[in-house]
Structure 1
């Protein structure tokens, strides 16, 4: 597949005629050295559905460490031997400070994230109370609290939390190589439960964990089938003491290919590049928008430093984009 074929595919998508699965499989097989041929079409799709608007989000690691899950990449897993901080659920004042940080830095969406398989009902209610007290700001709220049930989602909704984050992490065919303490199906069911409750869902994955091109496509197809509302794209930052500490880092071209492939596939969904953006792409990290990204995470990650929001705002302005203010 060459540049013109990619542009033709983009035009068809924009006109409401997405390609069949076989064509997507061909796109996924594009050699890494030819990835730049994918970008003009991906950029055109992004421009059509999202214009010059860039979604900005940030997270707060509100409960850290001692997670009983064995995810191979995670610094907070009890199975890992890392220097990640360990602390219980933050109090309401610390959570309020996180919201204030988002507001002060003109960040559209703020998410509270907690370690562990799930947060207890009592803790969910306490966190929701803290968020509800800040619901009069312009910041939209998101939460990532593990495997919750219908009652928990109702509590979050009443507190003004409009979106639930729960990544699939990787393709089903690769999942058991990454995690054995819970099943891929459990993650799917949590996404479905959140959607049944009426919440929007932010679900994507982590790349650079040994997946193939076909498995990137497999994950994208699963996200399309689940009709998630936003797709975070993370690139592994290997942490010493985890099972994936020595896995080779993927190239900047492969990162761009992953973003572009997801844009062709999930053409009308926000794609938000999160962890690993600057680590993997370096000085070229602003090319994620050419590859089809419509948003970025700014500020710190869960256990690693991120990028200063003022630098990201300057980058956005310099590229002729504007921060989004919608849902």
Structure 2
């Protein structure tokens, strides 16, 4: 399929009218040459503006439990299979987690994610502590609590929901066809099951991926079509910032235009889904960070990431103001 200017305009009109693009169209958009990307970005920006206007949303996270993860994900600094020198510590206390929530809220974020390393959280003391913290965050009423605790059981999901959790985050990371090259310690269906279970109990689901692992553009399309099928509520887009000591330490696949191409592709396939650009933003987009919104993103993660420093929130706030965008106090959908 050949995508020319008129075809692209027809696709955008169709998407804004409520239609979903086909896999054939998605693959054709993924195959656009660099000289056609400015038109693609304009198309994606038009779709974002249709659904979200000039509003964008911020989120922030805290590395609530770090290191010693038994999974062997080839990109991860926290895997016990890799010698990365990452800090290792147990679940942080409630006061520290609450302080993190207040800090993130103070920078304009609408969602605060409590993130723990490992395959899944212990359903004893750890889960009880997280639930107590979620209740305390809800009681203060400054920000919506989210959590990323690994794979879930139904009982754990129900406890989190009852405690007041708003969003559960669980990335698929990459396409099913590429996943075995990234992780061998659990199955792709385990992650899909957790996404479905979180939705089943009524949680808002944040699920996306990490790009620049060696996957093809076609595999990025495969992932986003899976996310569309799962009807996730929010999609975080991360770009690999290689970590010394991991199998992907020497992987440098991405350029700023590659990153923006991926964002625009996701926006056209998921027209009304909140898309947030998260990890690897500074490293991979460099001077083009502000272009993420022009390419269709409706949010960014601000502050630090799990094991690496992020951009100063004040710089992000200034960037958003300079673009004439407005920070929404609520999470976008």
> Fold match, TM over 0.5?
yes
Does the CA contact (< 8 Å) of 1:95 and 1:131 recur in 2? no
TM-score with structure 2 setting the length: 0.96
Q: Deviations over 1:220-272 (max 9, x none)?
A: 00000000000000000000000100012410110000000000001110000
- Judge conservation of contact 1:66–1:115 (CA < 8 Å) in 2: yes
Kept in 2: contact 1:7–1:40 (CA 8 A): no
Which of 251-260 and 149-158 deviates more?
149-158
- Residue equivalent to 1:23: 25
Aligned residue for 2:163? Answer: 159
Deviating more after overlay: 208-217 vs 23-32: 23-32
Q: 2:98: which partner in 1?
A: 96
1:132 aligns with 2:127: no
Match of 1:314 among 293, 312, 318: 318
Equivalent residue, structure 2, for 1:228: 232
CA distance in 2 between counterparts of 1:186 and 1:32 reads 36
List aligned pairs for 1:49-198, cutoff 5 A: 49-122=51-124, 123-135=126-138, 136-198=140-202
Question: CA offset at residue 297 of structure 1?
Answer: 0.2
Q: Report the Cα offset of residue 12 of structure 1.
A: 1.4
CA distance in 2 between counterparts of 1:116 and 1:18 reads 36
Residue 284 (str. 1) matches residue 288 (str. 2): yes
SS at the partner of 1:296? strand
1:8 pairs, out of 2, 7, 10, with 10
DSSP-derived class of the 1:38 partner: helix
What secondary structure is seen at the aligned counterpart in 1 of 2:46?
Answer: helix
| Mapped partners of 2:80, 2:61: distance in 1 | 22
Matched, 1:326 2:333: no
TM score, norm. by length of structure 1 = 0.98
> CA separation of 1:23/1:263 partners in 2, compared to 1, >3 Å: closer, same or farther?
same
Is contact 1:33-1:253 (8 Å) kept? no
Q: Distance in 2 between matches of 1:15 and 1:85?
A: 49
Distance in structure 2 (CA, Å) of the matches to 1:18 and 1:95: 40
Q: CA RMSD in A?
A: 1.1
2:329 is equivalent to residue 294 of structure 1: no
1:206 corresponds in structure 2 to: 210
> Does the 8 Å CA contact 1:53/1:323 hold for their aligned counterparts?
yes
1: CA distance, partners of 2:6 / 2:35 = 16
- Residue 44 (structure 1) aligns with: 46
Q: 2: CA distance between counterparts of 1:269 and 1:309?
A: 24
Report if aligned partners of 1:14, 1:45 keep a CA contact under 8 Å in 2: yes
| Long gaps (5+) in structure 1 | none
Give the deviation of 1:37 after TM superposition: 2.1
> What is the DSSP-based 3-state SS (H/G/I as helix, E as strand, rest coil) of the residue aligned with 1:141?
strand
1:217 aligned onto 2:221: yes
Does structure 1 conserve the Cα–Cα contact (< 8 Å) formed by 2:109 and 2:329?
A: no
CA distance in 1, matches of 2:107, 2:330: 16
Work out the number of aligned pairs and report it.
327
